[in-house]
Amino acid sequence: MQQRSPNGGGGLQSPRSPSSQPPFLSVSVSDPAKMGNGVQAYISYKVTTKTNFPEYQGPEKIVIRRYTDFVWLCDRLFEKYKGIFIPPLPEKNTVEKFRFSAEFIEMRRQALDTFVNRIASHHELQQSEDLRTFLQADEQTMERARSQDTGIFKKKPSDLMQIFRDVQSKVTDVVLGKEKPVEESNPEYEKLKRYIFELEDHLAEAQKHAYRLVKRHRELGQSLGDFGKAVKLLGACEGDALGTAFSELGAKSEMLSVKLQREAHHLLMNFEEPLKDYVRAVESIKGTIAERANAFRQQSELAEMIKLKEIDLNKLRLLRSEKMLDAEHEYEELKADGEEATKRFETIVRLMNEEIVRFQDQKTRDMGQAFHEFAKGQARLANAIADAWRSLIPKLDSLSVS
Amino acid sequence: MMGFENQGFEEAQLYASREEMESLVLDDDGDNINGDNDPSSRSNGGANGDGSQHHHPLSPSLPFAEISTTDDDDPLLSSSSRHQNPNSFNSLLEPPSYADAVFRSFDGDRGKQINGHGVSSTSSPSSSSDYLKISVTDPQKEQDLNNSLVPGGNTFVTYLITTWTNLPEFNGTEFTVRRRFKDVVTLSDRLADSYRGYFIPLRPDKSVVESQVMQKQEFVEQRRMALEKYLRKLAAHPVIRRSEELRAFLHVQGKLPLMKTTDVASRMLDGAVKLPKQLFGESVVSAAVDPNDVSQPAKGGRDLLRIFKELRQSVTNDWGSTKPPVVEEDKEFLEKKNKLQDFEQELSNVSQQAESLVKAQQDIGETLGQLGLAFVKLTKFESEEAMFNSQKVRAADMKNVATSAVKASRLYRELNAQTVRHLDKLHEYLGVMLTVNNAYADRSNALLTVQTLLSELSNLNFRIEKLEAAASKIFGGDRSRVRKIEELKETMRVTDEAKNRAVREYERIKENNKNELERLDKERHDDFFGMLKGFVANQAGYAEKMASVWETVANETSGYAKGS
């Protein structure tokens, strides 16, 4: 149960906080509990918020949330904070069988905890009203908010996927020079987009092997355990010194088998999960890239429309038509829309530039930690194995001459 | 189950991304990771299918040293190189540590192992100065001139058998002879006849199907290795190595001077002709059983009648209400037999689990290697595309992990090769158990022969008594009956002689069994302890190496530790 945010907890700057104490907002997701039965069953989590932000109630607040609540929050943030890389959520589970395995629940809890904490420590996202709702509202309000979320604000994962695909194909097209650019022609940005897409492939492969490695540890543990059992039986058959030797070997094997299983779990939680998280983060960035493309398209389309309207307007001015006043009105509106579209687009560009720096820093830290845990775990396992076998050698020596 | 060569395990050394891994140059300064496929550095052969050996004790240009588990072509070369191999780890890792020293001492013991596993076989500790080394090489195709129905048709393969020895019964210290597989079959059959009760190593399979299905070269190579292994096992057996049959096989030039396995068909015909005479054996003075034959097991053809009788006897033994005349009374033997049966079962189980263990070790090594490679690619990508310093830092961290993962992967591969070598003893002893079962069968057969003869004797006795009783009632005697009685008494005399021989043979086999069991116990004790020590030392040593690899990385990334 993680209490601290992985980014080092408090000490976050909130420009609106008037209190003398440094402002902080720290969240933890804990105590998963199975609710309901059968097909309707789901897991609920305890979300504890500790803060001194003025907009929040009290020093501490506890609410109960389920996975779909987290999804709601993610969607809202994605909608409202275009340009910012929204922290990724763990996947919606599709395999029934694993639904409530203890390991799966723990992995999900850890991922959700990381998710919320990243939001809480992001200087813009932490201001979000939706975040406040999520962290404080009672269950009924939460449920109402969730079910009300239809229409323009709700982006289903499938929509997102379609956007990803569009962006992906558009990038390829532009790269291959197939399509005429309704896209930005910003070489640096192009480079970034290519980077993101290639990065995803590399990461996915690394994560795949990391997951396999976890499995291999389990398999090795299993075979070593079975081997130990069989050796013990052989020892019982043999009897005498040799029998004892076999029994000792068997016992050690079984002991190491347990250690291997434990290391497999450690590897899963502390190495494979961070890698998976990295992959998810890159996917989230792809969403932001899609948003930026949208904003750019809107801006260009409006610019086109404004140009055409201007031509129209001038024509009408020359003809001194009655329609001219309406046309002027429309023109002014269009110009206002155009300005807004441009502002939106530019905000996204600015935010993305900041975000990418933050992202790279964050990932270096996250990966550094994952590597450290990986190496530590492997070293620990190897030492345990070496110690166990080493300790057996003098015993074998004495048995062989007895 | 004869195919307990190492081949299945050799496959364990081949990986999908093997080429990629081998071409990685792991410099300690860690600056150039070469992901390209460099053929020049790929010179370490895999499962030495071409029979040639690659020994690279400390060649710096190669990323790792192969520890071969195949039988060597040249036994004189093998022992020295095997001592070198444990030392020849990745020269880019630490210099030989204590772990290596322990390795070598275990591997040094291999000379003592008696059931010579591919290495020069030394004799039992009592006479440690004599030797008998054999190698099988140079398969050649030859024409079968006698039996070909088609002119220029039938071909067969001969192998060059080279022997080095200082045993007195051989004239000379080094000599060669050419033999074909049929000769080996003959040798094996003759040994089985002469050495009943002994644990005689099993000869290689005839593999009729395989010889048709496999590639010729592959099959010949497989057979060559199997033959070599078989002959070496014979040479390692303290009694059989002194046998006349083996000597003839190894030494006599030209045609093998041992009686071929009798052609069953012709003997059947033989037997069919003689059968009527034998069935009405009373009318012939020659005994139903030739006394000399009792020292041989009943075979097809000539011995049809004997087989019938012994079969009848064994049925009587199993289903009859009376106890058979001679019973296996040696309780100790029966106990031992049961124990060995249990042992065989458990051994088979362990052997299976050992195979799974080896597979799991191979898999984890492979996956580590693939993970390392994936990170290498990622590192390259990040460094090339770096727009920020944090990426460069990450790339450096990643490279550390990547190279360590690849190192660990190679360590696993080496570990596994050694593990296979040690645990192979288990498979070997499964084979030995088969020879034990054969020896027990010899004993049962001999006992059955004795029992059969005893039944015969009591039968004859009964008939004589009946006739005598009948004849005594007739005044002056019944000439035909008297004659009959004389004949029966003669038959009984011969049969009695045969019985005595059979009993002697049975006792002899019992004695052989006992001696062999003692020898087996002792050898098993030594071999298994050797195996256990080797296995354990191996695991410990490699685990220590891996620990140090990972500890380095853990230290270098300690700045990222949680809470720091």
Alpha carbons A249 and B159: distance in angstroms, whole number: 43
User: Order of strands across the sheet with A42-51?
Assistant: A25-35, A42-51, A60-66
Whether B539 and A213 lie within 8 Å, measured CB to CB = no
Name the least confident of B36-40, B147-151, B243-247, B549-553.
B36-40
Indicate the length of chain B as a whole number.
Answer: 564
Q: Are strands B132-143 and A60-66 parallel, antiparallel or unpaired?
A: unpaired
Examine the pLDDT at B56 and tell me if it is beyond 70: no
Integer Cα distance of B401 and B404 in angstroms: 5
pLDDT at A97 (0 to 100): 47
pLDDT-derived band at B146, boundaries 50, 70, 90: low
Which phi and psi (to 5°) does residue B335 adopt? -60, -50
Cα–Cα distance, A213 to A211 (Å, whole number): 5
What confidence score (pLDDT) does residue B275 get?
A: 45
Residue A389 and residue B540: Cβ atoms within 8 Å? yes
**Has residue B526 got a pLDDT over 50?**
yes
Model pLDDT, residue A95: 61
Do the Cβ atoms of B368 and A223 come within 8 Å?
A: no
Order of strands across the sheet that contains B174-180: B132-143, B155-165, B174-180
Portion of chain B with pLDDT greater than 90, in percent = 34
Report residue B470 as tokens. Answer: 């009948």
Please report the pLDDT score of residue B7 as a whole number: 43
User: Crossing angle for the helix pair B304-319 and B264-279, nearest 10 degrees?
Assistant: 70
A400: left (phi over 0), alpha (psi -120 to 50) or beta: alpha
Which of B535, B422, B353, B350 is CA-nearest to residue B113?
B422
Q: Name the percent of chain B lying above pLDDT 70.
A: 65
Q: What pLDDT, on a 0 to 100 scale, did the predictor assign at position A214?
A: 96
Specify the pLDDT at position B71. 39
The mean pLDDT of B295-304, rounded to a whole number, is 58
Q: Distance (Å) from the C-alpha of residue B77 to the closest C-alpha of chain A? A: 30
Residues 314-333, chain A, touching B (beta carbon < 8 A) = none
Chain B CA closest to residue A252: B536
The H-or-E segment that residue B175 falls in is: strand B174-180
- Cβ-Cβ contacts under 8 Å, A222 against chain B: 360
Query: Could you tell me which chain B residue has the CA closest to the CA of A203?
Result: B378
Q: Which of B356, B375, B559 sits opposite A223 (nearest CB)?
A: B356
**Token representation of residue B482:** 């008297």
Q: How many helices (H) and strands (E) does chain B have?
A: 13, 3
Is the pLDDT at B88 greater than 90? The verdict is: no
CA distance B409 to A175: 38
Sort A260 into a burial class: Cβ within 10 Å, 0-12 / 13-18 / 19+: buried
Strand partners, B134: B163
A132-180: pLDDT as tens digits: 999 999 888 888 888 776 544 445 555 556 656 666 665 665 555 544 5
- Averaged confidence pLDDT in chain B: 74
In which band, very low, low, confident or very high, does the pLDDT at B107 lie, cut at 50, 70 and 90? very low
Partners of B157 in beta bridges:
B141
Nearest CB to A372 within list B359, B537, B557 = B557
A348 vs chain B: nearest CA distance in angstroms? 20
In order, the DSSP letters of A22-89 are PP-EEEEEEEEEEES-GGG-EEEEEEEEEE--TTS-SSEEEEEEEHHHHHHHHHHHHHHSTTS-PPPP
pLDDT value at residue B342? 92
In A198-227, the residues whose Cβ lies within 8 Å of chain B are 198-199, 202-203, 205-206, 208-210, 212-213, 216-217, 219-220, 222-224, 226-227
Structure tokens at A92: 């919606």
CB-based contacts of B461: which residues, under 8 Å, 6+ apart? B492
Model confidence at B483, pLDDT cuts 50, 70, 90, reads confident
User: B539, B552, B558: which to substitute to probe chain A, counting the most A Cβ within 10 Å?
Assistant: B539
Average pLDDT over residues B523-548: 95
Alpha helix segments (H runs only) across A121-239 = 129-136, 139-148, 157-175, 187-238
Contact (CB, 8 A) for B287 and B494: yes
Residues B315 and B321: their CA atoms lie apart, in Å, by: 11
Which residues of chain A lie closer than 8 angstroms to B560, CB-CB? 365, 368-369, 371-372
HSE, CB side, 13 Å, CA atoms: give it for residue B116: 29
Q: Which residues of chain A have pLDDT under 50?
A: 1-11, 13, 17, 97, 151-154, 178-179
B553, closest residue in chain A (CA to CA):
A375
CB-based contact A375 B342, cutoff 8 Å: no
Residue B169 tokens read as 């019964």
Q: What is the pTM of this model?
A: 0.75
pLDDT for B211 equals 76
Distance from CA of A280 to the nearest CA of B (A): 17
Using a CB-CB distance cutoff of 8 angstroms, which residues of chain B are in contact with residue A367?
394, 397-398
A3–chain B nearest CA distance, Å: 12
